[in-house]
Structure 1
Amino acid sequence: MPGRHVTDQQMRLFMTIRHSQPVPVAAAKAGLSQATGYRLQADPILPSQKKAPRGRRRPDPLSDIFDTEVLPLLKSSPGLRPVAIFEELLRRYPDLSAGIRRTLERRIRTWRAEHGPEHEVIFRQIHVPGKMGLSDFTDMNKHGVSVAGKPLEHRLYHFRLAYSGFEHAHVVLGGESYVALAEGLQNALWSLGGAPAEHRTDSLSAAFKNLERSAQDDLTDRMDALCNHYGMTPSRNTKGVAHENGAIEGPHGHLKRAIADALIMRGSRGFPDLTAYRRFIDEVVGRINARNAKRIDVERTSLKPLPARRTTDYEEITVRVTSSGGFLLRKVFYTVPFRLIGHQLRARIYDDRLDLFLGATFLVTLPRARATRHGPHQHVVSYHHVIHSLRKKPMALMGLVYRDQLFPRQAFRDVFAVMLERTTQRVACRMMVDLLALAHDRGCEAELAVPIEEDLRQKRLPDIEALRALFAPSSDSLPGVEVRLADLSAYDQLLSNAPMTPQVAA
């Protein structure tokens, strides 16, 4: 055939068939073209006997140094890269040509194939429906996603069934914690409608203590309880051997590429809030699962039924509200309503929020923030929580440690800076507290920011009285209440018609 060399076996077959068949038939049966058949008939010498193998056409540039210089390096340091050996040879022999690099790389590759270290064999496994689900985390910071105009540092919790390829992804704002693992895993199982027999991770600190102990003792109590709740057997791959988790390590890349493509098609990497971004991730994962719908339906029949309810997927800690109007939790200061000063609260810590309870009564949900290990304290504050005290002590705003975080919008920060430039500190603090109080009392934070921005464009200070009149409740919206007082003589008539109470004899 064109582009392929004739082998000795083909020629022998052709010559055998040629004794009883014409050349075109014999050539076709031997897998040759008709022209090649006539050529072989004219020259019946086997291809291997026609010419000797071609030798080198130019001198070997490594003949004098490969055995004496390169081999000792390869034997003493098997992991040494060819480019490093090449640079060392150029340093030792400046007259060497830079063009020998490819020759050196091919020579090293051939030597390693014959004499190099043994490579580990990857044993492909047969996956059984309903047997194994895998969990892992993957970093997403390189995708450049932003929420509300700010870069979102996050990762994804990724769950996958080894047989059907069912996937679930959950946006995680913190690290690889047990809270993130428990919440993401339970979301995946409840969306799937069942649980596999085995749950595998790598050496996550959220699941394993990672100490020099046996695997049974190494398992954290919380992870053990979580898997027992769903009837799963916890397991992990060998430390440092990532390919044993290959059923999810490889799909990490596929999922992240699908998300990157969807972001490009969307035309923007910015999202108005975290909920919108999570909805976007769910849509991407949903399209992936739709392609595997038949296999997922098959595996669902082999999954274990879910328990009656979810189990704990949060950490709980007790905090005390101080006279500062809040509490400190892991280097983050949170404000709460002032009525809670002096009380102990139960805080349920999730990956992205805190739920606060007074006894068994739910109070409020706060967004969770994180401080770096050696960085400054962070603040999660709301002016609604402290405005009552700021009205009494407006000058406290001047040196407040969390003043910048207290302002709800950028317009409030900008107008306060202008006030400090044009007025005294006392006047600026009073005006700023009046603006925050107006936003709190009338619930007009967003609407109030509009005239403030206009004042900034016009380079003038806000008129507090005009703003109060602007956002005052309309008199037409107030209901008319007519109070009719009862005639007091009606009480005399009521008493005169009342039956007498019988006297009880002593």
Structure 2
Amino acid sequence: MTYRLTLSPEAAAAKAGFSKASAYRIEGDLRLPSQKKAPRGRRRSDPLVPYWDAEIVPILKAAPGIRVIGVLDELRRRHPDLNPNIRRTLERRINAWRALNGPEQDVIFRQEHEPGRLGLSDFTDTSPLGIAIAGEALDHRLYHFRLAFSGFEHAHVVLGGESFVALAEGLQNALWALGGVPREHRSDSLSAAFRNLAADAREDLTQRYAALMGHYGMAPTRNNAGIAHENGSIESAHGHLKRALEDALLLRGTRDFISLDAYRAFVDEIVGRRNANLAKRIALEKEALAPLPKGRTTDFEEKVIPVTSSGGFILRRVFYTVPSRLIGHRLRVRIFDDRLECFLGVTPVGTLRRGRPVSENHGGHVVDYRHVIHALRRKPMALVNLVYRDQLFPRAAYKRLFETLREHGDDRRACKVTVELLALAHERACEAELAEAIATALDAGRLPDLAALRDRFRPEAASIPSVAVKLAPLDVYDELASVSIVSAHSNLGGAA
């Protein structure tokens, strides 16, 4: 056809390697061979003809979101003799009808992001990863921060819900790791933090969030509630990050970590690798970021709580033990996502693991046996019906021993032996080794010997060194005195 623009049909055909007959045939009909085929007609009658206009279209207009299988089920309910093999035909016809007559759909408008303008925060559920800490499943989620232009990411393991404390801590960690501040911060309206709160509490959270944004000089923005794609620059990144974590876990060969810190280091490593692939864009965006303030702002809540005669305090339906000498005092408790920092006035007195209620009807317990073991030794029978007895045992071997002793029918002996072994673990700092010895004895079918264990874990006797002190004779002091007097007279004569 290119030759035909300047040559005759015969010459163009000769140059293209066609015969003259082919040239004149093409001249007569310029359509391609595929365009000359007549559409294939139906090979069987349309099974939907009796129902389409009378029943199917009214269903689609009345319920635009109904699934095809729902329409088919309704048709078969009305017409039991209808062949179920029409499903594919029905799907094609309904899809074609919706393309021409269906409701208008929402349109996603792709955005162009400039460096240093927008940072986004969101929480994502990571329970499908199946993470365990020392053999126990970890119920957690990730706080996820991302810059829209460069794709810089930061992830923070969150043990509780989507709270302001978790947002404040994770966001500040991200900004200080980044070394700068974007002009805007977008979130999903902190809907999880506001849920089921009274009006005063919502107002308090709003003011705290505004103060956090003001401290860093960021303009707070938020997407419409329930419209996930408006936060698409981070919503889609959730899936990429979790797939990267899943791949790394498969290569690691196990999802069990020795500690929470080890798991957090693992997440930081994966996020660091992803950021390394974007080093050039991140470096370009850093130049457009605003500088950090002089220091961080508050990323915790604070409560003043009295320590009761039970040797602890209750905070948000969770009982925490503290050293008994604090009974009667009021502690100032800073509430973080994963820990509580306790102060007596301005003096720090300890850090406790953050606990969670077991359910809506049952609270939780965070118990350290070291806080109460001295009192429990004086009243060992209190162990039988202690409300937090199961949480008191630091390791499974101690609980197993207590239950085994009770099976022998002597609660008094069970309490006495268990409490004494806990005291031994505390006094000799041998909790893990003692638990292993107890488990070994129980596995062998015998009860641990308390006297033998005390002897085994007693302090090693250290020999007292022999120190020989040689006393100087007293007349030496007289000689020193006489030398001092002669020296003084000599100095006076020189001065004269």
The whole-number CA distance in structure 2 between the counterparts of 1:53 and 1:422 is 88
| Structure 1 residues 50 and 400: alpha-carbon distance in aligned structure 2, compared to 1, 3 A threshold | closer
| Structure 1 residues 154 and 71: alpha-carbon distance in aligned structure 2, compared to 1, 3 A threshold | same
* SS of alignment partner, residue 320 of structure 2: strand
- Does 1:330 pair with 2:319? no
The whole-number CA distance in structure 1 between the counterparts of 2:45 and 2:129 is 51
- Does 1:245 pair with 2:221? no
The whole-number CA distance in structure 2 between the counterparts of 1:421 and 1:219 is 52
Aligned to 2:79: 93
Query: In the TM superposition, what whole-angstrom CA distance separates every residue of 1:457-489 from its partner, at most 9, and x where no partner exists?
Result: 22222222222221111123x6538597999x9
The whole-number CA distance in structure 1 between the counterparts of 2:119 and 2:19 is 58
Cα deviation, residue 47, structure 1? 5.1
Aligned to 1:106: 92
- Does 1:127 pair with 2:136? no
* SS of alignment partner, residue 459 of structure 2: coil
CA RMSD of aligned residues (A): 2.9
The whole-number CA distance in structure 1 between the counterparts of 2:190 and 2:316 is 22
Aligned to 1:405: 391
Cα deviation, residue 50, structure 1? 5.2
The whole-number CA distance in structure 2 between the counterparts of 1:172 and 1:45 is 74
Query: In the TM superposition, what whole-angstrom CA distance separates every residue of 1:156-185 from its partner, at most 9, and x where no partner exists?
Result: 100000000001111111100000000000
Could you tell me which of 254, 270, 284 is aligned with 1:298? 284
The whole-number CA distance in structure 2 between the counterparts of 1:51 and 1:17 is 30
Give yes or no for contact 1:147–1:271 (8 Å, CA) kept in 2. Answer: yes
Aligned to 1:173: 159
Aligned to 2:365: 379
The letter of the residue matching 1:174 is G
Could you tell me which of 393, 400, 403 is aligned with 1:417? 403
Query: In the TM superposition, what whole-angstrom CA distance separates every residue of 1:265-284 from its partner, at most 9, and x where no partner exists?
Result: 11111111111111111111
| Structure 1 residues 38 and 412: alpha-carbon distance in aligned structure 2, compared to 1, 3 A threshold | farther
Q: After superposition, where does 1:41-440 map in structure 2 within 5 Å? A: 41-46=24-29, 48=31, 52-205=38-191, 220-372=206-358, 374-422=360-408, 424-440=410-426
Cα deviation, residue 135, structure 1? 0.3
Aligned to 2:491: none
The whole-number CA distance in structure 2 between the counterparts of 1:89 and 1:156 is 46
Give yes or no for contact 1:210–1:218 (8 Å, CA) kept in 2. Answer: no
Segments of 5+ residues of structure 2 without an aligned counterpart are 479-496
Cα deviation, residue 219, structure 1? 7.6
Identity %: 57
Give yes or no for contact 2:161–2:192 (8 Å, CA) kept in 1. Answer: no
| Structure 1 residues 210 and 301: alpha-carbon distance in aligned structure 2, compared to 1, 3 A threshold | farther
Query: In the TM superposition, what whole-angstrom CA distance separates every residue of 1:233-264 from its partner, at most 9, and x where no partner exists?
Result: 00101222211111011111111111111111
* SS of alignment partner, residue 310 of structure 2: coil
Cα deviation, residue 408, structure 1? 1.1
| Structure 1 residues 66 and 382: alpha-carbon distance in aligned structure 2, compared to 1, 3 A threshold | same
The whole-number CA distance in structure 2 between the counterparts of 1:372 and 1:229 is 36
Aligned to 1:19: 8
- Does 1:466 pair with 2:452? yes
Higher mean displacement: 64-73 or 39-48: 39-48
| Structure 1 residues 483 and 115: alpha-carbon distance in aligned structure 2, compared to 1, 3 A threshold | farther
The letter of the residue matching 2:13 is V
* SS of alignment partner, residue 475 of structure 1: coil
Query: In the TM superposition, what whole-angstrom CA distance separates every residue of 1:215-240 from its partner, at most 9, and x where no partner exists?
Result: x9898011111111111000101222
- Does 1:480 pair with 2:465? yes
| Structure 1 residues 324 and 88: alpha-carbon distance in aligned structure 2, compared to 1, 3 A threshold | same
| Structure 1 residues 474 and 52: alpha-carbon distance in aligned structure 2, compared to 1, 3 A threshold | closer
Cα deviation, residue 136, structure 1? 0.4
| Structure 1 residues 200 and 209: alpha-carbon distance in aligned structure 2, compared to 1, 3 A threshold | farther
Aligned to 1:6: none
Give yes or no for contact 1:129–1:298 (8 Å, CA) kept in 2. Answer: yes
Cα deviation, residue 122, structure 1? 1.3
Aligned to 2:440: 454
The whole-number CA distance in structure 2 between the counterparts of 1:60 and 1:218 is 64
Aligned to 1:7: none
The letter of the residue matching 1:411 is A
Aligned to 1:30: none
Higher mean displacement: 14-23 or 123-132: 14-23
Higher mean displacement: 328-337 or 421-430: 421-430
* SS of alignment partner, residue 60 of structure 1: coil
Cα deviation, residue 201, structure 1? 0.7
| Structure 1 residues 273 and 127: alpha-carbon distance in aligned structure 2, compared to 1, 3 A threshold | same
Give yes or no for contact 2:13–2:19 (8 Å, CA) kept in 1. Answer: no
Cα deviation, residue 36, structure 1? 10
Higher mean displacement: 255-264 or 96-105: 96-105
Give yes or no for contact 1:230–1:306 (8 Å, CA) kept in 2. Answer: yes
Give yes or no for contact 1:208–1:218 (8 Å, CA) kept in 2. Answer: no
Query: In the TM superposition, what whole-angstrom CA distance separates every residue of 1:391-431 from its partner, at most 9, and x where no partner exists?
Result: 21111112211111111111111111222233622222111
Give yes or no for contact 1:209–1:219 (8 Å, CA) kept in 2. Answer: no
The whole-number CA distance in structure 2 between the counterparts of 1:484 and 1:134 is 74
| Structure 1 residues 243 and 405: alpha-carbon distance in aligned structure 2, compared to 1, 3 A threshold | same
Q: After superposition, where does 1:489-504 map in structure 2 within 5 Å? A: none
Segments of 5+ residues of structure 1 without an aligned counterpart are 1-10, 27-33, 494-506
The letter of the residue matching 2:28 is I
Aligned positions, number: 471
Cα deviation, residue 303, structure 1? 0.5
* SS of alignment partner, residue 155 of structure 2: strand
